[in-house]
Amino acid sequence: MNLIPKQTDTKAKIEAVAKVLGVDPLWAVAVAMTESSLGVYQKSPTGCLGVFQMSSIAMKDLHQEMAKGDDDWADIACGVAFLRLLLKRHKTIRAATEKFCDPKDRDFYVSRVINYMGAFGDS
């Protein structure tokens, strides 16, 4: 898969954090690609920010820092840590991925993540 330099940098950061946290790096990168195309400064129509498009009251301070554009490591670490928690609870990557997305988008989302895992695994 062809990535621009910033995406390559973000991908490397995600892989590094995923390895430290014991999360499959291919899965973490695939979820981030699905969420934001590996864009650190992406903002969704619902106000979610960052690589993993995390949204919650607990993420308020992180979102404020991300809006300043100076802490993509924290964004990545939180996203990967959340994936780790989901995997611990739901046991398989597929089941954990289903819980990461909006239920109405589940089939499309899971399919997209699996396709990205394959694409990144081949590169």
pLDDT tens-digit series, residues 41-51: 777 887 777 88
Sign of CA dihedral 72, 74, 80, 83: negative
DSSP 9-68: HHHHHHHHHHHHHT--HHHHHHHHHHHHTT-TT-B-TTS-BTTTTB-SGGGHHHHHHHHH
76 found inside a domain: yes
What pTM was computed for the model?
Answer: 0.72
**Mean pLDDT, the chain, integer:** 86
Within a domain: residue 85?
yes
* 65-84 average pLDDT score: 78
Please check whether residue 53 lies inside any domain of the structure. yes
Residue 13 lies in a domain: yes
CA 61/CA 58 separation, integer angstroms: 8
| Inside any domain, residue 1 | no
CATH number at residue 100: 1.10.530.10
Q: Please check whether residue 66 lies inside any domain of the structure.
A: yes
pLDDT: which is higher, 78 or 118: 118
Taking residues 22-48, what's their average pLDDT? 89
What's CA 31's distance to the chain center, in Å? 4
Is residue 19 in some structural domain?
yes
Q: Which residue has the higher pLDDT, 40 or 21?
A: 21
58 domain residue, yes or no: yes
What's the domain range around 37? 7-122
Q: How many domains does the chain have?
A: 1
